[in-house]
Chain A
C-alpha cells in the first residue's frame, strides 16, 4: 500500500525567509505526486503536481517542488514566504488510484 510521510508537523518561519516542507512517498511503478494547501475552514487547493517530465515543478503562489526518485522525496519550497502563506500543506500520492495523503505540515509565518 502507498504511504506518504510528511516529516514535520509544524514549521514556523519568519516572513520573507525561505521555507522547505518535506515529503517522502512510497515507490511505485507510476508515481503521481501533488501538494495541496488548506486554509482554515476551506477545502484543498492544488499548489502543484508532478506527473512526469522535468523533476522541478513550479506551482502557484511562488511554490516549487523537486521530484527525487532515488530519495523518494518531493519537497516543497518557496524562496520568500508571506504572512498569507500561513496554512496547512498536504503532500499526496495518487494517479489512477484515490489519493493517499500525508498527515500535513502546519506552516506558520511570523511577522
Chain B
C-alpha cells in the first residue's frame, strides 16, 4: 500500500526565498506530524495536526515557519525568508494516534532543504 510521500525530495533555495514542502499522509490517518532533522542529529518536533486542527506548534523555531492542513489530508510546511540555519531534512509522519491502540508513526522519505 501507499506510504507517506513528500515532495520535493530535494530543494535548494537562496537565502531569503520562500519555500513550500508538501506531505501526503497515509489515507485514513488522522494525525500528521512535521519534524526537522539537522545533519547528524535526531529528528525534532515542529508541529502536529489532528485532522485539520493544528493542536501543537510549539516546535516551530520562528514565525517564519507556518504549516497547514486545510482539508485534514495533505499538509504543507511553508518557510518564509529562508535562512542558512533552516537547512535540514524535513520529515513528515502520519499516525492513527491512539485509535485501536496504535501509537506508531509512519515516516515519509523527507525533503532535504539546502539554503545557499
Give the total of B residues in contact with A, Cβ under 8 Å: 26
Chain A residues with CB under 8 A of B108: 43
Pick the contact of A104: B42, B97, B105 (CB < 8 A): B42
Among A26-51, those with CB < 8 Å from B are: 32, 34, 36, 41-46, 49, 51
Given contacts A43-B91, A43-B110, A96-B103, contact A90 B42 (CB under 8 A): yes
A98:B109 contact, CB within 8 angstroms = no
When chains A and B are docked, how far (Å) is the Cα of A16 from the Cα of B93?
Answer: 33
When chains A and B are docked, how far (Å) is the Cα of A36 from the Cα of B43?
Answer: 11
Contact with B along A45-88 (1 / 0, CB 8 A): 11001010000000000000000000000000000000000000
Q: A88: shortest Cβ distance to chain B, in Å?
A: 9
A34:B41 contact, CB within 8 angstroms = no
B104:A34 contact, CB within 8 angstroms = yes
Given contacts A101-B42, A104-B41, contact A94 B109 (CB under 8 A): no
The chain B residue sitting closest to A36, CB to CB, is B107
Q: A21: shortest Cβ distance to chain B, in Å?
A: 13
A90:B105 contact, CB within 8 angstroms = no
When chains A and B are docked, how far (Å) is the Cα of A27 from the Cα of B108?
Answer: 29
Pick the contact of A98: B42, B48, B101, B112 (CB < 8 A): B48
Given contacts A43-B4, A43-B110, A44-B107, contact A99 B101 (CB under 8 A): no
Interface residues of A (CB under 8 A from B): 4, 6, 32, 34, 36, 41-46, 49, 51, 90, 92, 94-96, 98-104
The contact sample of 30 A-B pairs, CB cut-off 8 A, is A32-B103, A34-B104, A36-B107, A41-B109, A43-B108, A43-B110, A44-B43, A44-B107, A45-B107, A46-B104, A51-B101, A51-B103, A90-B42, A94-B103, A94-B105, A98-B35, A98-B45, A98-B48, A98-B59, A99-B43, A99-B45, A99-B93, A99-B105, A101-B35, A101-B42, A101-B43, A102-B42, A103-B42, A104-B40, A104-B42
